[in-house]
Amino acid sequence: MSDRTETTHARTRRLPQINPVWLLLAALVAGIILMNPGFVEPTGYMNFLKRAAPLAILAAGQVYVITSGGFDLSVGSLITLVVVGSSMLTNNDPAATYWVIPLMLGMGLGVGVVNGLVVCFLRVPSLIATLGMMITLNGLAFLWSGGAPRGYLPDTYRFFGRELVRDVPLVGFIPVSVIVLFVVVGILAWLMHRTNLGRQVHAIGDNPVAARLAGVAVNRVRITAFMLSGLSAAIAGILLGGFAGVSTDVGSGYELQAITAAVLGGAQLLGGRGSVFAAFGGALALTAIFTLLNFLGLPQPVRQVVQGLILIAAVALAMHRRKQTGT
Amino acid sequence: MKRILMATGAFAVSVVPLHAQNFDDPQEFAKQQEQLQAEPMGPEGQPWLQHIGGEMTETADLGLEAPATVCFSNAGVNNPWRVVGYTNMMQEVANHESIGDFVHVDAEGSDDKQIADINDLLAGGDCDVMIVSPNTTAALTPAVERACEDMPVIVFDRGVNTDCPVTFVHPIGGYGFGIQGAEFIVENVDEGSNVLMLRILPGVDVLETRYSAGRRILDEAGMNIVGAEFTDGDNAKTKSIVEDYLMRGDIDAVWMDAGATAVAAIEAFEDSGYEIPVFVGEDQQDFLRKWQDEDLTAIAPTYPTFQWRTAVIAAARVIEGEPVPAPEWVLPQPAITQDELADYVNPAMPPLHYAMCGCESMENYPDAWGGN
């Protein structure tokens, strides 16, 4: 995992050692600043971080599942279920927020447990298990709401996704969602890179048989990875509902974006390698691509072509670098 | 997954020759502009019974006996507009003794399923009258033609390329919707003002015509259109797009081709600390409430859900042998203005309830529509 010895020997190889996702992000941000100098103002970059927060949190959770050798496709529909469910349960009552939010976080963990159990004990590949869960949750959200949301989210609930903390020295203001973002990514990064759990997640993704023989409780670690992914989806749902209000398809497409962000950050599909910080960088880069293309004012079909090409190129670059470093 | 399909679709639309269907037809534009001014015929205050122009057709010779079975092939109940419309419809069915059974089949937004649905209904042999709300125009035309051979057919919402149905029930149309919003903007801001146009997605006929009509009027009035953006009907994306535009300059008016994300767009102004400009939304309750609470300068063009009632009324008239407006039953398409706002705002209704439902006086209002 560490190439420290190599770097000291060959100074010239230091540059490629930087995860390319940060170079990509820097290039994109430079492009955005060029298009819109206002981006260097707090309003500019704080809006950007606020917008990236749900995806970044989702990617930080997804990277656990990917590193452990799986996929979690259910997160997008879980986001939808959280937003629709919250609007049904709060029913315009500001006081309801205090039990609805913990309930939704619990639901995220619960969906993760079920995903994990199905993968571990029913031996369903995670791609299929979570695809089934995605369809099921979409159906549940539709059943619950009858196809049209029935309530508003009260301001107490929307606090996390919408409000700002004002009068902060240096930057002026910080959106609450950006604070949530740093806390969640910080905790997930610490768990992944500083604790035994993180090492075990890497181990079972790399070689589950070897990990089991070495004494890792493979099933327990795998289920924990799915729980963290589910929890991150619930948090992302609470932020998205807060940011923009209720709609019945808020989460659609987020599962693929989260996987893309993790892979942009160098996570290895099928497991064994992944970094929470790099996935965070991947999510920022992905959001930066969307923002830059917005600013360029290209017609929609052209944007989609460019977006797809940038993604393929970025992941190809990440793979190339991996071959070079031999990891 | 949906995004990918949309992307493929958008790409296909951009590659396939656009002249296949003309979304900017000056004749149709002029016709709908005229219809907006026309005095509708029929009982006042009950727009679902009114019609603009068109001849009446006798239906007595169709030889149906009450009570008859009405079959409804529905494109889908997959968005809040269709949910409200379908509720209107089921409530209206209860008003007609001449309708014995009402059979509903939901195509879930798929052309193939709807074609199969219609064939199944025909093969079943139980239907006396068929109502079709086509998923897409060209694909459903042959299936509707087959149905016409067996029984009277009533088409509503989107049309088909055949005149075999007894009548085609629809409001004035997309051009009319675009005209109402854009004219309101022109009346309320100065020449050369910055207008942002927000659209859901490209390539859908009813949305493209709204846009082309709106654009034509704004261009002719010398407005500065700062952008025309696709939001995918997504709240978060809408809010982000508007925030990005606000970082680059002032916006004096916002025109939208549909109102589901109007509140998110308004919040972008609020959260960035700007005054809310002139706004074109739609008749969703959340927008109307915001309009009232914040005292906006706004208008809500509608694509009225009461047409779902009219389709049932047309079917009942066919069974009873009463005349119906034909070959098209063009319904009025009122826009909600400041003067009428208070009549339509109802905090008891769900946020995405479409206020122009013509359903307030129906028996199970508001419970059946999800109101408290």
Give me the average pLDDT of each 10-residue run along chain A (327 residues): 47 62 93 89 90 96 96 96 93 90 97 97 95 95 82 90 89 92 97 95 94 94 97 97 88 90 87 92 92 78 79 76 60
Residues 6+ apart with CB under 8 A from B89: B72, B308, B309, B311, B312
Q: Indicate if the pLDDT at residue B325 is higher than 80.
A: yes
CA distances from B9 to A39, A304, B176, B310 (A): 33, 11, 26, 33
Report yes or no on A294 lying in a domain: no
Q: Residue with structure tokens 């971080």?
A: A49
pLDDT for B35 equals: 94
| Residue pointed to by tokens 């209107």 | B88
Does some domain include residue A323?
no
Question: Which has the higher per-residue pLDDT, B63 or B285?
Answer: B285
Nearest CA of chain A to the CA of B76: how many Å? 11
Is A162 in the B-facing interface, judged by CB distances under 8 Å?
Answer: yes
Q: Which residues of B touch A (CB under 8 A)?
A: 1-4, 7, 10-11, 13-14, 77-80, 82-84, 202, 227, 229-230, 233-236, 238-241, 243-244, 247-248, 260-261, 263-264, 267, 271-272, 286, 350-353, 370
DSSP states of B57-119: E--GGG---SSEEEEEEES---SHHHHHHHHHHHHHHTT-TTEEEEEEEE-TT-HHHHHHHHH
Secondary structure string (H, E, C) spanning A220-249: HHHHHHHHHHHHHHHHHHHHHHHHHCCCCC
Report pLDDT for A15. 52
Q: B174-299, which class in CATH?
A: alpha beta
Q: How do the domains of chain B map onto residue ranges?
A: 51-172+304-331, 174-299
Decide if B230 and A243 are in contact by the 8 Å CB cutoff. Answer: no
A297 located within any domain: no
The answer to whether residue A252 sits within a structural domain is yes
Residues of B in contact with A44 (CB under 8 A): 247
Cβ-based contacts of A243 with chain B (< 8 Å): 235-236, 239
Q: Mean pLDDT throughout B19-44?
A: 87
Structure confidence at residue B15 (pLDDT): 44
- Whether A33 maps to a domain, the answer reads no
Cβ pair B10:A304 closer than 8 A: yes
- Rounded to the nearest angstrom, the minimum Cα separation between B69 and chain A is 26
Nearest to B83 among A146, A250, A290 (CB): A146
Reported as a single tens digit per residue, the pLDDT across B85-135 is 999 999 999 999 999 999 999 999 999 999 999 999 999 999 999 999 999
- Residue-wise pLDDT for B247-281, tens only, equals 888 999 999 999 989 999 999 999 988 999 999 99
Which one of A244, A253, A290 has the shortest CB-CB distance to B235?
A244
User: Count of CB atoms within 10 A of residue B273's CB?
Assistant: 8
Distance CA B252, CA B275 (A): 9
CB contact under 8 A, A244 and B351: no
How far does the CA of residue B78 sit from the closest CA of chain A (Å)?
7
What ipTM was predicted for this assembly? Answer: 0.83
For chain A, positions 287-306, list CB contacts with chain B under 8 A.
Answer: 290-291, 294-295, 297, 299-301, 304-305
* Interface A:B, Cβ pairs < 8 A: 110
CA atoms of B160 and A213, how far apart (whole Å): 66
Cis peptide bond upstream of B366, omega within 30:
yes
Q: Which domain does A206 fall in, by range?
A: 54-274
Which residue in B14, B240, B271 is closest to A301 by CB distance?
B14
Does residue A279 belong to any structural domain of this protein?
A: no
CB contact under 8 A, B10 and A294: no
Residue A277: what pLDDT?
94
Nearest CA in chain B to A135: B1
**To which residue do tokens 């930087």 refer?**
A18
CA B46, B49, B52: angle at the middle one, nearest 5?
Answer: 105
CB-CB contact of A203 with A210 (8 Å): yes
Q: B51-172+304-331, superfamily in CATH?
A: Response regulator (3.40.50.2300)
The CA distances from residue B128 to A53, A75, B92, B121, B165, in Å, are: 56, 46, 18, 10, 14
Separation in Å, CA B310 to CA A229, B35, B224, B335: 48, 18, 40, 19
- Whether the link from the prior residue into B17 is cis, omega within 30° of 0, is no
- CB-based contact A44 B370, cutoff 8 Å: no
What residue type is A86 in one-letter code?
A: S
Nearest chain A Cα to B236, which residue? A244
Query: A39 touching B, CB under 8 A?
Result: yes
pLDDT of B284-302, one tens digit each? Answer: 999 999 999 999 999 999 9
- Taking an 8 Å cut-off on Cβ atoms, the answer to whether A149 and B238 are in contact is no
Question: Using CA atoms, how far apart are residues A197 and A199, in angstroms rounded to an integer?
Answer: 5
Confidence class for position B53, pLDDT limits 50, 70, 90 = confident
φ, ψ dihedrals at B316, nearest 5°:
-65, -40
Closest by Cα among B11, B63, B60, B87 to B357: B87
Which amino acid would we find at residue B146? R
The 3-state DSSP class for residue B342 equals helix
Q: pLDDT band for B335, please (50, 70, 90 cuts).
A: very high
Amino acid identity at B198: L
The pLDDT assigned to A6 comes to: 47
In a domain? residue A256: yes
Please name the member of B11, B227, B247 whose beta carbon is closest to the beta carbon of A304: B11
- Rounded to the nearest integer, the mean pLDDT of chain B is 91
Compute the distance between CA of residue B24 and CA of residue B107 in angstroms, rounded to an integer.
29
Cβ of B264 within 8 Å of Cβ of A245? The answer is yes
Q: How far apart are CA B358 and CA B221, in angstroms?
A: 34
- pLDDT reported for residue A16: 54
Helix (H) or strand (E) holding A257: helix A254-264
Could you give the CA distance from residue A196 to residue A218 in angstroms, rounded to a whole number? Answer: 13
- Residues in B closer than 8 angstroms to A308, CB to CB, are 7
Q: Does A159 touch chain B (CB under 8 A)?
A: no
C-alpha A29/C-alpha A40 separation (Å) is 10
pLDDT in the model for residue B19: 44
Chain A residues closer than 8 Å to B83 by CB: 146-148
Interface with A, mutate which of B201, B211, B235 (most A CBs under 10 A): B235
Look up residue B18 and give its DSSP letter. Answer: G
> What was the pLDDT predicted at B251?
96
* Per-residue pLDDT at B18 exceeds 60: no
The answer to whether residue B241 scores a pLDDT higher than 50 is: yes
Do A162 and B241 make contact, defined as CB atoms within 8 angstroms? no
Q: Name the residue of chain B whose CA is nearest to A246's CA.
A: B235
Geometric angle at alpha carbon A147, from A51 and B87, rounded to 5°: 140
A38 contact residues in B (CB cutoff 8 A)? 247-248
B83–A291: do the CB atoms touch at under 8 Å?
A: no
Tokens of A54: 């749900």
Q: What is the dihedral of CA B109, B110, B115, B121, to 10 degrees?
A: -50
% of chain B residues with pLDDT over 70: 94
DSSP assignment string, A25-84: HHHHHHHHHHH-GGGGSHHHHHHHHHHHHHHHHHHHHHHHHHHTT---TTHHHHHHHHHH
Number of structural domains chain A divides into: 1
Residues B334, B339, B340, CA angle at the centre, nearest 5°? 50
Lowest-pLDDT choice from A292-296, B115-119, B235-239, B346-350: A292-296
Is position A30 within any domain?
no
Give the phi and the psi of residue B21 in degrees, each rounded to 5. Answer: -135, 130
As a whole number of angstroms, the distance between CA B244 and CA A39 comes to 10
Q: Which helix (H) or strand (E) holds B129?
A: strand B129-133
Give the distance from residue B341's alpha carbon to the nearest chain A alpha carbon, in angstroms.
20
pLDDT in tens, B139-166: 999 999 999 999 999 999 998 999 999 9
Shortest distance between the Cα of A2 and any Cα of chain B, in A, equals 37
